[in-house]
Amino acid sequence: MTRFEQQYDEWMQRQLEEEPNARRSVMLRKGLGHGTIAFLRAVWFPAVGHFNDLYAEWEVRDFGNGYRYLDLAYLPGDAKGGIEIQGYGPHARDLDIVRFKDLCRRHCLLALDGWTLLPIAYPSIVEEPKACQQLILAFIGKFVASDVPASLSWLEAETVRFARRLLRPFAPAELEDHLRVSDRQARRVLHDLVERQLLDIASGTQRARTYRIRV
């Protein structure tokens, strides 16, 4: 059993054990769709490395007192992010006018209810997994990159947000380009944030080569 399979099985079992809603339990016991599993295997897990704050077949109410289900809900804290895997057949080629209007209405209702929705095309999962991984990291960064200590300067605060959005080690040159500052100034900001224990040195001994957000 691969690491993905082990963590996926544990994640699904945990959701079943913790779910009091009978309707969602039924949905989970049916198993996730092929596209959702492919997304988790090729995109989410390689990019993120865990399933924290992620929920499958998440139930939401619509304005007609009905129930709809998101393929995946990302719920860190009070944030509400939804991920929908769009198969080419049912969502594009074979979409009739009634289903098209319902799909648009569904997205509108989710937006009005405070959801940030990220539609991922199944062909992109298969053909462009790396590009999808970058989308997911940016998507996660939207929710985890907002709160920073009030004591930080603007450059320091933006560096922390930058590190959180990337969710991977980055070089000083990347920060230099992002902040539009000199190499010396970028390194000084990075050094200060390491001293504040907000960043860690990811690689390099005598001279740090890359940095990452402290978790």
Q: Using one digit for the tens of pLDDT, what is the confidence trace for 175-208?
A: 999 999 999 999 999 999 999 999 999 998 888 9
Radius of gyration of the chain (CA): 20
Residues contacting residue 44 through CB under 8 Å, at least 6 positions apart: 51, 54, 72, 136
pLDDT of 100 above 80: no
Q: How many residues does this entry show for the chain?
A: 215
Distance CA 192, CA 198 (A): 9
- Residue 93 has a CB neighbour count (10 Å cut-off) of 8
pLDDT digits over 112-170, tens only?
A: 778 899 999 999 999 999 889 888 877 887 776 556 778 899 899 889 888 877 767 89
Distance CA 135, CA 47 (A): 10
- The reported pLDDT for the residue numbered 102 is 72
